[in-house]
Amino acid sequence: MSRRPSFARLIRLALGLLGAAALIAVFAFPRALRLSFAAAAPLWVHRTLAFALGLRVEAVGAPMRGALLAANHVSWLDIVALGALAPVTFVAKSELGPNAAARAFLALQGVVFVERARRLSIPAANAAIASALARGERIVLFAEATTGDGNRILRFRSSHFEAARTANALVQPVTISYPRCAGLPVTRVERPTIAWYGDMTFAPHLWTVLRAGRLTCRVKFAEVVEGESRKVLARQAEKVVRGR
């Protein structure tokens, strides 16, 4: 990894961020009104952010409409990568939208908020997820409920798999990995540097990503899994993502 980002990378970042900001400004009001022509706006925002970050996204398979996309979680980069492949709605912690303005901004992307600290909030969140699935939306659930170091998959939490059962929706496992950096294979030792986990803060990690060189994110959409309960669905999806 280089000691500092190249001047070209910083220019690319600045241009990409300006482009994403312009797209958000243009489409914020139409998105808030749910106008059909603005439905794909988040897709182009994420693609612009991927360009800004020098993030190449490789898709294996395709995300299904009206499916719960049960994915592992490595980094905040996962959000950009998934958002750049198709219009999706994310299941997110309510801490990400601590006030009305933040929630309104995130709602332009498409978010279902979950208060993870309050188990009593799970039925309401599942009802919102089920409604979105019934409308044909692709719902991204980071089923580990946190990020990892990129070298292991944590146990999938089963609570929100109940929403797929309620909506009679498909559950599609999704595996996210970062196999190449600056054109070279990423080793087991280097993966935790790319991952964002523990007590890492955003700005230093962004600087690390920019120093690292161009990253490749591989997103593998597997065949759907089945199960007679939410727990079985979670275990089946977890096994697929683990590659078992």
> pLDDT tens, 89-146?
999 887 665 556 666 667 788 899 887 667 778 999 999 999 999 999 999 999 999 9
> What is the predicted pLDDT for the residue at 96?
65
Q: For residue 6, is it within any domain?
A: no
> What is the predicted pLDDT for the residue at 141?
97
Q: For residue 33, is it within any domain?
A: no
* Burial (Cβ within 10 Å: 0-12, 13-18, ≥19) of residue 1: exposed
Q: For residue 40, is it within any domain?
A: no
* Residues paired with residue 68 on neighbouring β-strands, in sequence order: 139, 171
For 100, the domain range is: 56-242
The percentage of the chain sitting over the pLDDT mark of 90, rounded to a whole number, equals 69
φ, ψ of residue 14 in degrees (nearest 5) = -60, -45
> What is the predicted pLDDT for the residue at 95?
66
Which of 48, 46, 45, 41 is CA-nearest to residue 13?
Answer: 48
* Residues paired with residue 216 on neighbouring β-strands, in sequence order: 56, 180
Contact 66, 138 (CB under 8 A): yes
Say whether pLDDT at 236 is over 70.
Answer: yes
Q: For residue 45, is it within any domain?
A: no
Number of separate domains in the chain: 1
The stretch 190-210 carries a mean pLDDT of 90
User: Strand 55-60 vs strand 170-181: parallel, antiparallel, or unpaired?
Assistant: unpaired
Q: For residue 43, is it within any domain?
A: no
pLDDT category of residue 71 using cuts at 50, 70 and 90: very high
Q: For residue 35, is it within any domain?
A: no
Q: For residue 73, is it within any domain?
A: yes
The residue ranking higher by pLDDT, 212 or 127, is 127
Q: For residue 23, is it within any domain?
A: no
> What is the predicted pLDDT for the residue at 232?
97
> What is the predicted pLDDT for the residue at 64?
97
> What is the predicted pLDDT for the residue at 102?
62
pLDDT category of residue 199 using cuts at 50, 70 and 90: confident
DSSP 64: P
